[in-house]
Amino acid sequence: MSDIPQQVVQYLGASAPFDVFDEDTLHGIARHVQVVYVTPQNCEATLMKMMPSLFLIQSGQFTIHDENGNERFLSEGDYFGYIKLLDKQVGNIKIDVDSPGIVYAISETSFIESCENRQFLSFFKAAKDDVLQNQAVSESNTMWLYRPLCEILERPPIAIEQDVSIQKAAEVMSENGVSSIIITEYDHLIGIVTDRDLRNRVVATGLDIQMPVHTIMTEKPAYILHNQNMFSAIALMSEKNIHHLPILHSDDRKPMGMVTTTDVVRQQRGNVVFMIGEIAKAENLYQLTRLAWQMPQYFAANAKRAGDFDIAGKVLSQATDIMTRKLIEFFIDQHGQPPLDYCWVVYGSQARQDQTMGSDQDNALLLAQEPDEAQAEYFARMSEYVCKSLGKCGIKLCPGNIMASNPKLRLSVGAALKQARGWVRQFTPEAILEFNIYLDARAVAGERLLFKTLQQERKKSFQESMFLAAVARTASSQAVPLSIFNKFVYQKHNGKKDCINIKNNGVALINDLARLYALSAGITIPGTVDRLNILGEIGTINKQDADNLRDIWLFLNRLRWRHQLRNNATDNIISISDLSSIERHQLKAAFKSIQRAQDVAVNRFSGGLS
């Protein structure tokens, strides 16, 4: 009988799922193991000849094009070959050796015998399914939140003209099995009627059912445009506490359909989004701060799945928006109506809707004209109140003083335009880093038209090629944390040596790229996922590349949220040892993709000069 080197048995025993077996069984398995030092030259002659087998990597790095055609980057502790062992029908794998190393080949017989252990079998079955799940985040069960409403619409709108009788309206509703109906005048939305209106305003009051339907409708209802996404619809419904939301076409404002709470409940899986409804009910600063401080615990308790992490940033930003609107309301209640039209604008993560627990506030006030002394005083006090109160709600004050409470950030539209032209003329790297944050902007309260005017006016200047070239160079100057040998480049943090700042070295790099392309295409939407979706649709970026960047962004975002919620942290510094083996590979692949996208951007906008 042959003897087996102890390290083979030990390595097997330390690699899940072989750890379910006792020492004797492991010896039996090890006896049929073949150990290969796999190099690019011998890969074909060794591993390929051993198939089908289960392969376990002890050292080295490999790119496997697996049985289902997926590309996977594998290294120490990873398996391959099991898909074929579990399903004979699939195709063959292809192996590229990125760096040579030792691979254990476990025979098919040993694998089949081992599969008699249920735990062992379910490990590989799950691994097999995982590969399928990882195919694209876009197929994940929460991507519906990001999809434009027009894609979710299942039927044409149920609408009737305002002079039709109540009885006819009720008939149309029951024929179509809907609980609400859009009331139009010359095909334009003027109201809605719901089951509840029929009960409360007709049946309960004994109203004549031949009366025109407009007599019982809710006039000027809230609505949403068809190019917005489901998330915005949910947020609006939660904030306004309504159950039916008409969808209008963004161009001609004609009704296109209706979103109802039932649709939401049907699709909704995580419930983190309902925090918004709670905040919207706050009646004073005290209630608002109390609710706001519950948010971290609320998130920690409710955000468990990857899908919850995808929307957590949106929920938090939406919550901050609502807090801001509430605070402005509270201020106006106390100090009277504003003397000028104004618009409260937010920047950075709040604008992009990717806030995390550690995000600070970045905001500004845009005024309809240069204020006189008294007007300036009113807005100074308003900004001071809102920013400080947001701070009390846990949204940290901005250390860089990018806040409306800073007089430099309370500009008239004219002054803001002049400022933007200045940026375009002075595009030193330092200047770009400084004003980058202002390029992700969103109006949150007040007169949105002011902001829209500013956006439209400055859009052209931002499309100048010299300016874009400079932004491209800045966007690519920050490198991903990979060495030339494709190893992670770590930083030390809290006594751990294997840390990576997933925001600065990952998420922010994709934000930069999405911003660059959005500027070039004149897209003013600030969110990175939304930007990438549009850029892919209109072909500014190849659709596949745009989808890939979006998936990577969502993946990195999941990692940072999980880190913050699990460790009750507000930083973005994750330890690689906290990641599963598969996540490590995904992270590495993600960084490589970002690097490639940076190269492409520099080539495209600055002719390759970086």
Partner 1 sequence: MKNWLANMVGKGMLADYVHSPLADLPLLALDFEFNSLHKKEVKFMSAGWVTGQHFQIDYDQSYYRLIRAKGDLQQSPIIHGLTARDIAQGVHAKEMYSSLMQYATTHVWVLHNAYLDMNMLKELAYRFGEAMPAITTIDTMQLALHKLSKGTGQYGVKHDAATLDSCRRRFELLSSPLHNALSDAQATLELFYAQLYDIDPKGEMRLKDLKSATNAVKVY
Which residue ranges make up the site for partner 1 (CB under 8 A)?
2-8, 10-11, 30-31, 33-42, 45-46, 58-60, 99-102
Residue type at position 488: F
- Residue 100 or 339: which CB sits closer to partner 1? 100
- Residue 30 or 291: which CB sits closer to partner 1? 30
Q: How far is the CB of 64 from partner 1 (least distance, A)?
A: 19
- Residue 14 or 609: which CB sits closer to partner 1? 14
Which two three-digit tokens encode residue 569?
Answer: 């942290």
Intra-chain end-to-end CA distance of the chain, in Å: 63
Residue type at position 24: D
Q: How far is the CB of 7 from partner 1 (least distance, A)?
A: 5
- Residue 32 or 201: which CB sits closer to partner 1? 32
Q: How far is the CB of 83 from partner 1 (least distance, A)?
A: 24
CA pair distance 488, 509, nearest whole angstrom: 16
CA distances from 524 to 103, 241, 458, 553 (A): 51, 29, 10, 19
CA pair distance 458, 485, nearest whole angstrom: 43
Phi, psi of 226 (to 5 degrees): -65, -20
Yes or no: say if 95 and 62 are a contact pair by the CB < 8 Å rule.
yes
Q: How far is the CB of 588 from partner 1 (least distance, A)?
A: 15
- Residue 42 or 419: which CB sits closer to partner 1? 42
Yes or no: say if 517 and 545 are a contact pair by the CB < 8 Å rule.
no
Q: How far is the CB of 41 from partner 1 (least distance, A)?
A: 5
Yes or no: say if 106 and 33 are a contact pair by the CB < 8 Å rule.
yes
Q: How far is the CB of 488 from partner 1 (least distance, A)?
A: 14
Q: How far is the CB of 106 from partner 1 (least distance, A)?
A: 13
CA distances from 192 to 123, 165, 253 (A): 53, 14, 15
- Residue 11 or 231: which CB sits closer to partner 1? 11
- Residue 41 or 369: which CB sits closer to partner 1? 41
* Ramachandran sector of residue 353 (left: φ over 0; alpha: ψ -120 to 50; beta: rest): left
The side-by-side arrangement of strands in the sheet containing 342-347 is 410-412, 363-367, 342-347, 441-446
Q: How far is the CB of 482 from partner 1 (least distance, A)?
A: 16
Instruction: Kindly report the length of the chain.
Output: 610
CA of residue 539 relative to chain centroid, distance? 21
- Residue 44 or 139: which CB sits closer to partner 1? 44
